[in-house]
Each structure stands twice: as C-alpha cells, then as structure tokens.
Amino acid sequence: MTQTNSSVGIRQLLDMQNQAFIAEGAVSAEVRVQRIQQVIDLLVESKDALCQAMGEDFGGRPAVFSLANDILGSLSSLKHARDHLTEWLGDSVRPSVKPFDMFGASAWVKYQPKGVIGIIGTWNAPLFTLLSPLACAFAAGNRAVLKPSEIAPRTAQVLAQAVAKRFDPQVLAVVQGGPEVAAAFSEQPWSHLVFTGSTSVGKLIMGAAAKNLVPVTLELGGKSPVLVGDSADIANVAERIAVGKSLNSGQLCVSPDVVWVHESRLQSLTDGIVAHYQSLYPSVTANADMTPVVNERHHARVSAYVQDAKDRGVQVVETGAAQAGVDRRLPLSLVINPPQDAEISQHEIFGPAVVLRSFQNIREAVAAINQGDRPLALYYFGSDEVEQNWILDNTLSGGVSINDVVMHPALEDAPFGGVGASGMGHYHGREGFLEFSHARSVYKAGSHDPRREWGMLPPYNEQFAQMLNQAVTP
C-alpha cells in the first residue's frame, strides 16, 4: 500500500509509474484486460468490507445502496471496458495527402496510452468516482494513482489495502490524505488528471493542472433542472422525482435540484412527491433505509438553505420530521418558488431538499435555465415529442434523461460528463477510452515522390505558381 502526505512522495510515485510505463513499451490488449480484471476481482473480494466502510463513513448509509451504486456501478464500467476494449484499439484509417495518395502515401490515427493518470474521487460515491474513470484509463493502456476523498476515510483505507494486495504500485496505487494532499496531488505533472467534486474546487484543480499543462477531466455538478411538460403524467413525475431525489438523500451530482411545472399543476405535483416519498420513508430519524447527510458540516449547510427560505416566508413542505441530535438524517424539504437571491436558489443543494418553481409557459422555464450555468443533468417529462425535441435543441447540459431522473449516467456505452461550469471531458465507453488516449496522426510516404518532376521544389517556375493559383477555388 502506498500512502504519502507530501508533494515529494506523490512525485516519487508518479516518477516510478512513468519510468515503468516507458520501460514497458506497447501495452497489449491482454495486459489491459488483466489489469481491469484485477480491479473487478478486488471489488468482488472486498465488497462486504467496502460496503461496511461506506456505511460507517456516512453514519448509516444502507449497504444495499452502497452495493448498487458503488460496487455494481463500478463493476458495470469495468466489465464494459474489459469486454469491449479490443474493439476500440485498432488504428483509424484516414485519407492521405493529395496528390501523394496516388503514389501510395497512406495515413492513419493511432490511439496510444498517455502514461500515468491521476484520479481524485469524491465522498458521495467514493468508489464509483475512482473506479469508473479507472476502467477507461486502464482500457486505454495507462497506469494510475487514485486519491480518495478524505471525507470517506474508512472507505479510502479499505480500498488502499485491497489495491495493495493485488497491484504493484508501479501499475496502480492509492494516496490518502486531506485537502493539502489533494492540492499537492493536483500540482503534479500527470499525463491526465481526473477530478470529481464541486465547481469551486474544480476551478482550483484546473488552475493547478494548468501549471504543468496537464489535460483535465472535470466531473462537477450544478443545479440540474427538471422540466415537466403539460403532457406529462403528474403521478408518474411525482414518483420518479421522489425516488430519484431519495437516492443517497440527494447527495448525487445528478440529483434533481429544481423542478419546473405549470402553475396549475404545482400543488398536485407537490402532494404527489410528498406521498411517494413518505411511502418510501415513513419515518426519518434512525430509518436504516435512509442515507444520512455525510457529516455535520453538510448537515448544517443543507439545514441552513431550508431555514433561510423559511425565514424569507417561502412555503416549505417537509416530508416527516427529524429528531434533533440523534443522527444526520433529514426529511425531504420541498421549497416552493423561493426568490432568486435565496441561499437554496444560489447553490447546488446536494442534500434532501428540492426547489419547485411554477411557470405559465415552459419556454419561460427554459429561458430561466439558460440564464444560469450549464448543469450536469437535465430532465424532461412529457409525451409531446415536438416539445421534447425543442427542449433538447434549446438547452445544453452534460446529459439528459427523459421521463425519468438520474438514469443516463448508467449508460456505459455513452459518454458521461459535464459542460461549462458542470465540467469538461467524459468517461464511459469508447469516448472514455479516447479521453485517456493520445490520438496520434501518422503519415506514411509512398514509393515515389513526384515533387521534383512536377516543379514543386526550388527553383520554382511559373508553371508551379499557376498550378497553385488554380487550386485556390471557392
């Protein structure tokens, strides 16, 4: 197991992996598959210990959610990469340079590993945000160093032990520590750096990476909106939102943050969400099926957002009540039409609360969404395909789910990532393989070079000048 709390130690680890990468040369498909399989095997072997650690880090996160989201979610990414990477490896033949192609010149793009990938995960999905991008990094032939979140220290420790048991640190290693370690980690000259977390920290990560011209993949977040069309089944919308918002108690980067609905249907949607949520969680405090807010700081933050709305006289509907001081579980709070300067309107909620906003015309909602930062996810409910396509054409987000929420990140053969303030780059599928590969253009000359006989070399003649001028066409 590799642990370090200094930039020198991290740099030594990076240099060791870089040297091993150079010494290895071309990375065969068999080696890539083997490395991915080793990660799969350690997850299968350590699943119970990892689920227990995640439960302890959250103060009572249900093991079934950790199993579904982090263990099976990671396994899905890893197995897809393992089973498809041989399809992604081949060279991409391209047209050669004219007129040399007539004399046998050819061209292609060769996809090669970049080297050593640094991956910084986050606490809300402490395994998935490390191992899902790792699947693509390994598929592309790279080596990697993982930096788990210090907010989930038990999970980080169990993962580090599992990795050390199965991997040479020259191939895969884990670095543990707090924000100072993350800062030192982001300053290293990685071949590529992946970060999952908040937009504010993402800016710091990108700034640190820029000092070494390190390319970055940033999976951030934002206030992911839900647009409820007039053609939508409100009962179905209420159930899908209640279920989606309940996952990890809203502590997901793609959790719905703001729900837009026609003013005439606002009350029925509110009532429906409350009813469905209460059927899922009849009680709050000590409910073993409900994930607590991860720590006291985040508990206080989410509670303050809701209290600020109440203090402003905003209608807040809560689904049940929490017993103060017993645990960090909170009821779902529906905050109805808060002003734009309210705290809950200004910040990504990342917890068990959601804003409901009413509109008279759905285009008003789209206009309001487009005034803000680009979200990581956007959701639309409705059966009107004209409206659906108009919304897809007139909004921009990292990804979209239609008639459901929080589902598109599960698409293994489609890119997952953000845009603008919600991030850049992506992983999953072939696009993830390409993200961590260098696309290297190759030109191969033919057996004959006609430039001398065609007057294309000095001393230039008038015939060559005329030929060039004739080539200048609209």
Q: Respond yes or no: is residue 435 known to be catalytic.
A: no
Pairwise CA distance, residues 134 & 129, whole Å = 9
Report the number of secondary-structure helices (H) and strands (E) in the chain. 16, 16
Residue-wise pLDDT tens digits, 80-100: 999 999 999 999 999 999 999
Residue-wise pLDDT tens digits, 149-190: 999 999 999 999 999 999 999 999 999 999 999 999 999 999
pLDDT confidence bin for 3, thresholds 50/70/90: very low
Q: Which CATH class is domain 7-220+423-438?
A: alpha beta
Segment among 3-12, 243-252, 464-473 with least mean pLDDT: 3-12
**Four-CA torsion 389, 391, 394, 397, nearest 10 degrees:** -110
Mean pLDDT of 271-275: 98
pLDDT confidence bin for 116, thresholds 50/70/90: very high
Mean pLDDT of 457-468: 93
CATH number of 225-412: 3.40.309.10
Q: Specify the pLDDT at position 26.
A: 97
Residues 51, 136, 187, 219: which is the catalytic one?
219
CA dihedral sign, ordered 59, 62, 67, 68: negative
Residues 51, 136, 187, 253: which is the catalytic one?
253
Strands (DSSP E) found in 167-265: 172-174, 192-196, 216-219, 225-228, 258-262
Contact (CB, 8 A) for 96 and 275: no
**Residue of 361, 292, 241, 384 whose CA lies nearest to 55:** 292
pLDDT confidence bin for 7, thresholds 50/70/90: confident
**Residue of 298, 299, 302 whose CA lies nearest to 326:** 299
| Domain positions in the chain | 7-220+423-438, 225-412
Q: Is the pLDDT of residue 349 over 80?
A: yes
Which pTM does this prediction carry? 0.96
Residue-wise pLDDT tens digits, 194-227: 999 999 999 999 999 999 999 999 999 999 999 9
Q: Is the pLDDT of residue 291 over 60?
A: yes
The fraction of the chain above a pLDDT of 70, given in percent, is 99
Q: Is the pLDDT of residue 5 over 90?
A: no
Pairwise CA distance, residues 71 & 269, whole Å = 33
Q: Specify the pLDDT at position 4.
A: 56
Q: Is the peptide bond before 459 cis (omega within 30 degrees of 0)?
A: yes
Q: Is the pLDDT of residue 6 over 90?
A: no
Contact (CB, 8 A) for 128 and 72: no
Mean pLDDT of 127-151: 98
Pairwise CA distance, residues 6 & 257, whole Å = 37
Q: Respond yes or no: is residue 318 known to be catalytic.
A: no
| 33: exposed, middle or buried (Cβ count in 10 Å: 0-12, 13-18, 19+) | middle
CA dihedral sign, ordered 321, 326, 328, 329: negative
* Mean pLDDT, the chain, whole residue set: 96
Mean pLDDT of 35-58: 98
Token pair 């004399």 is found at 103
